[in-house]
Amino acid sequence: MARCSEGRAAGVAQAPALRSLQSQEEYLLLTVRAVAQDNGWITYHDVDSRGSEKGWPDLAIARAPEVMFVELKSSSGRITKEQQRWIDELTACGVDARVVRYGTLEMAALFADLRKARPAQVAA
């Protein structure tokens, strides 16, 4: 797994060293939502998923004509079979669905994608 050792080169600040794996996921969720919203995206995160189907991604992000689904993980977090199935099925439908781990190049790539300008034909 690629690590983001030089976040500034990728256009994001270096991820802080957080001790708790739970706090890594919480930091990632809050930061991704903030970057997305600052760049005109809308986001949805189910705060309480009890009773829902297992495996649904943590975050839905949309800004016409794009939508993406993101499963957020700590630096050592493991994806479940159900989560991988949802990612695979959404991807097979032509949707951007990805797993993003804290402190990796995946994280830097997501921030870069969220900061890209909206295509001219749908600019608000």
Residues 6+ apart with CB under 8 A from 46: 52, 56, 58
- Asked if 81 contacts 109 with a C-beta cutoff of 8 angstroms, the reply is no
Lowest mean per-residue pLDDT among 3-7, 40-44, 63-67, 95-99: 3-7
Q: What is the pLDDT of residues 75-109, one digit of tens each?
A: 999 999 999 999 999 999 999 999 999 999 999 99
- Counting DSSP H helices and E strands in the chain, the numbers are 3, 4
pLDDT recorded at residue 118: 81
Q: Exposure string (b/e) for 66-92, b if CB count within 10 Å is 16 or more?
A: bebbbbbbbbebeeeeebeebbeebee
Q: What is the pTM of this model?
A: 0.79
pLDDT recorded at residue 5: 39
Angle at 107 between CA 105 and CA 109, to 5 degrees: 70
pLDDT recorded at residue 121: 60
Write down the domain spans for the chain: 19-47+54-114
Residue 37 has pLDDT above 50, yes or no: yes
Phi, psi of 111 (to 5 degrees): -60, -40
CATH code for the structural domain at 19-47+54-114: 3.40.1350.10
Instruction: Categorize the per-residue pLDDT at 11 as very low, low, confident or very high, splitting at 50, 70 and 90.
Output: very low
